[in-house]
Structure 1
Amino acid sequence: MGKMSELAVMAEEAGITEDVHGALMAYVALQPWDMANAVDRFEDAYRGRWESLDAYAHDQLWATDAAYRAACNESDTGRVRIDTVAWRSDYAWADGHVFRNL
């Protein structure tokens, strides 16, 4: 059985729906040495689709941090600088999908 067929079987057994198979493939690509572990951890790790990790960070901060919203509202650009190094230690972005590092 090829890697893609094996991944499809593992995804089905784990109850991962077809609408997120692209995200699952992106997640497996982040750790190709351990496909079974990636499938097992996928649902806990997957955060959704974003154009970048910076966009995800902005949306999360906007939704949860009043001080961040206030700073953005005072900024000429409507955004403030985000410490992407810190976000990259906790999250990964691949092919338009964001994953929490577990």
Structure 2
Amino acid sequence: MVLEPIHCPDCHSIDVVKHGRSAAGKQRYRCRNSECSRRSFILNFSYRGRLKEVKQQISDLALNGCGIRDTARVLRISTSTVIETLKKSHSTLSK
């Protein structure tokens, strides 16, 4: 039996403990590093729209002039996910 340490996606600390389950039944973890900006996270999302790489691709496609429906079709996610991601990225840029 081999135990692999789980790393926090933000601070890459291995000081991580189990923290219950999500509504979809996925294992949730909690980072115990006090300086980490992310407290709770899930390693394997069941929906692609939650991945950090997909959110970055949404922003990149929007900057290149792709429409919302086109972006959703290419990335195989919903249009509402694209809209919400763009709203959130716009609000963080304006601060």
Question: Same-fold call, TM > 0.5?
Answer: no
Higher relative contact order (CA 8 A, sep 6+): 1
Output the TM-score relative to the length of structure 2: 0.26
User: Given the two structures, how large is their TM-score scaled by the length of structure 1?
Assistant: 0.25
Question: Is the helix fraction higher in 1 or 2?
Answer: 1
